[in-house]
Amino acid sequence: MTVATHNQRIVDQFTRWAKPFSELPIHAEADAMARTLRACALTPDTDALDVACGPGILACAQAPHARAVTGIDITPAMIEQARARQAAAGLENMAWHVGDATALPFESASFDRVTTRYSFHHMRDPAATLAEMVRVCRSGGRIVVIDATPSPETQAAYDAMERLRDPSHTSALTLEQLREIGREAGLREVVVDGYRLEAELSTLADPSDMPALAAMFDADIASGQDRIGVGARRTHAGILFHFPVSIVAWERLDGKR
């Protein structure tokens, strides 16, 4: 698949999901957000950039703690949601861009914090995106990646489940793979944290995909092996499971300003 085809797939997927995604409470869940903000270590003079910001949930949570926050996303419908969220929250220190994470339209060393949440598993080359994030981060600044990180044993089954739910899913890195691309980028790791994000399957899938997804989850539940690695179980509320999310923060320390 070409880059253009993949990017179009992302825009199609997230144009359909922009509003439901922005309204799902799990995406603003308090403990997860508190851990994420702790890793960001924002101060009142911080200039922050959130890459693949979607509907601006993380960016808007950062804004009260920073001097300015910029969000960028490839899907225009997501940026529309982000602008609406900013207006509803009455935040003024924010700017939004439509653009590609692999070619950020910013000068080098423009930001003190560069974050991205739940996006690396949509990237064909997460290391290339990390390199762009490093480029636009000032020396002494922090880069924070938050994403689902299946174990090495469950990675293939996890990816198969996610591709069924979302055709723009590429592959979720394991925590060790994520830490490794940070090391390869010459970054100093300063935080490794994580959380389990509990979800109900039907809130995250197109109704047309539910029969195949439910069959996959039911087979996993029946096996008793947790091969997908998401702790799936059937309850009166439907199929519950969790995303195994990691937070990794690094400092850029190379004398460039």
Ligand X SMILES: C[S@@+](CC[C@H](N)C(=O)[O-])C[C@H]1O[C@@H](n2cnc3c(N)ncnc32)[C@H](O)[C@@H]1O
For binding to ligand X (CB under 6 A), which residues are involved?
Answer: 10, 14, 27, 52-54, 57-58, 73-75, 78, 100-102, 117-119, 122
- What is d(CA 214, CA 26) in angstroms, rounded to the nearest whole number? 20
In whole angstroms, how far apart are CA 27 and each of 56, 61, 118, 156, 212? 10, 11, 10, 24, 24
User: Smallest distance from the beta carbon of 248 to ligand X, in angstroms?
Assistant: 15
Asked if 194 and 244 count as a contact pair (C-beta separation under 8 A), the reply is: yes
Specify the amino acid at residue 179: R
How deeply is 243 buried, as exposed, middle or buried, from its count of CB atoms within 10 A (0-12, 13-18, 19+)? Answer: buried
User: Smallest distance from the beta carbon of 222 to ligand X, in angstroms?
Assistant: 29
Nearer to ligand X, 65 or 97 (CB): 97
Nearer to ligand X, 53 or 228 (CB): 53
- What is d(CA 60, CA 64) in angstroms, rounded to the nearest whole number? 8
User: Smallest distance from the beta carbon of 42 to ligand X, in angstroms?
Assistant: 16
Nearer to ligand X, 122 or 227 (CB): 122
Name the closest residue to ligand X (Cβ): 54
Nearer to ligand X, 64 or 140 (CB): 64
Nearer to ligand X, 73 or 220 (CB): 73
Angle between helix 175-184 and 126-135 (nearest 10): 50
Nearer to ligand X, 227 or 241 (CB): 241
Residues 6+ apart with CB under 8 A from 177: 149
Residues constituting the chain? 257
- What is d(CA 180, CA 248) in angstroms, rounded to the nearest whole number? 11
User: Smallest distance from the beta carbon of 75 to ligand X, in angstroms?
Assistant: 4
Name the DSSP letter for residue 230.
S
Q: What is the CA radius of gyration of the chain?
A: 18
User: Smallest distance from the beta carbon of 224 to ligand X, in angstroms?
Assistant: 30
Nearer to ligand X, 50 or 112 (CB): 50
User: Smallest distance from the beta carbon of 217 to ligand X, in angstroms?
Assistant: 20
Q: Look at the block and give the residue holding tokens 């080098």.
A: 108
User: Smallest distance from the beta carbon of 181 to ligand X, in angstroms?
Assistant: 16
Asked if 48 and 111 count as a contact pair (C-beta separation under 8 A), the reply is: yes
Which structure tokens are listed for 207?
């109704």
